[in-house]
Amino acid sequence: MMGISFHKASKDVTESGKLRRKVWKNRPSKTPKIQDNNQIVEQEIGPKLSPSQTNYYVSICYRNDEGDRCITIDCIPVEVLAHCMSFLSIQDIHRASQVSQKFYKSSTDILLWKFLCYRDLRITQKYTSTTWKDYYRMVRCISWDVENCCPNEFKFSEHNKGISKTTSYGVATARSNHLFVPSGRKYVFDVKINFRRPNFFYGIGFIDKEANFNFVKAAYPNSSSSELAEKKYDHQWFYWSDGNCWDILGSHPVNTKTRTFVAKKGIERPKSSGNESQQPTLAFFTNDIVGVVLDYTVSPKPLLTFFLNGQKAHQFELPAPLELYLGVYFYNSNDSVSIEHCESDKYDKLLECN
């Protein structure tokens, strides 16, 4: 037989006014009496206290062959449970969501993920029609993949959003932690050039997952397959520091028959920029911002657009809705970039001008 009773606990049971679970091991059992008609006879436990001095618990009490037993379970609203989850890490929230349907519902609460966006990302307003949970995932995932980088080649900062090359020998490549998939959304972010030595190549761009490039070793697999060769050179889009677009190894130029350059004359730079050349150029330097818009909302073929300091540099029509990794190519020590998430409409006006 089973019944439910409401108990009052003194303020001593809580700490700083917060609801906490407490097992009263030494307290005498005072379970409600269960009548034959399953009606509950309420019994008062402890002294009478004013509402301001009490917290309320719900107990599920049952009787078996061994006698009366009482299991204390905090029966709280979904909103309150979601608030409790706001103090947990993302991993713990995920684990809690698997406990029960109520915990899962609490873990998907809108206000919970809105708060997490502020707590972890300092974002108070989202600029897409996605949910706060999806928005959190989209923004948080724009970081560099520590696991897929040589540990002696790179150091990371800003919660893995910044990456710097630490060695001065050979080529080093890295990729994003996130695989950009055709999800019907638009990815918009900036890549800030923290440091770039002008006399070495420096690349930022995308490579098709199926090209099977080894970012750690900066190499393609040995294969004579014509299909793989086509993917190697035609399924990647890298914006290089000299203003051109090459493959990730810097050895094969872009096929100009299939790619369109939208700013052939380059971009006029202010004379106070301190760069070596004042001629219109698409080359990028230290402190420049390379904007990226990967638009999967366009059909049937997505658009990839690069911007340089707020001006359109290159635009490509992808051959298909591919799964892409964002990659960087460094050569010199101290080469460094940082990813910064942007509003989804940041470059809309510039795209409309094309």
User: In this predicted structure, what is the pLDDT of residue 70?
Assistant: 52
More confident residue, 75 or 105: 105
3-state SS, one letter per residue, for the chain: CEEEEEEEEEHHHCECCECCCCCCCCCCCCCCEECCCCCEECCCCCCCCCHHHEEEEEEEEEEECCEEEEEEECCCCHHHHHHHHCCCCHHHHHHHCCCCHHHHHHHCCHHHHHHHHHHHHCCCCCCCCCCHHHHHHHHHCCCECCCCCCCCCEEEECCCCEEEECCCCCCEEEEEEEEECCCCCEEEEEEEEEECCCCCCCEEEEEEHHHCCECCCCECCCCCCHHHHHHHHHCEEEEECCCCEECCCCCCECCCCCCECCCCCCECCCHHHCCCCCCCECCCCCCCEEEEEEECCCCCCCEEEEEECCEEEEEEECCCCCCEEEEEEECCCCCEEEEEECCCCCCHHHHHCC
Residues of the chain with CATH 2.60.120.920: 146-352
Q: Is residue 224 over pLDDT 80?
A: no
Q: What is the pTM of this model?
A: 0.65
CATH code of 146-352, in short, is 2.60.120.920
User: In this predicted structure, what is the pLDDT of residue 227?
Assistant: 74
Q: Is residue 206 over pLDDT 90?
A: yes
Q: Is residue 68 over pLDDT 50?
A: yes
Q: What is the pLDDT of residues 295-336, one digit of tens each?
A: 998 888 899 999 999 999 988 889 889 999 999 999 889 999
Q: What is the pLDDT of residues 8-22, one digit of tens each?
A: 444 444 443 333 344
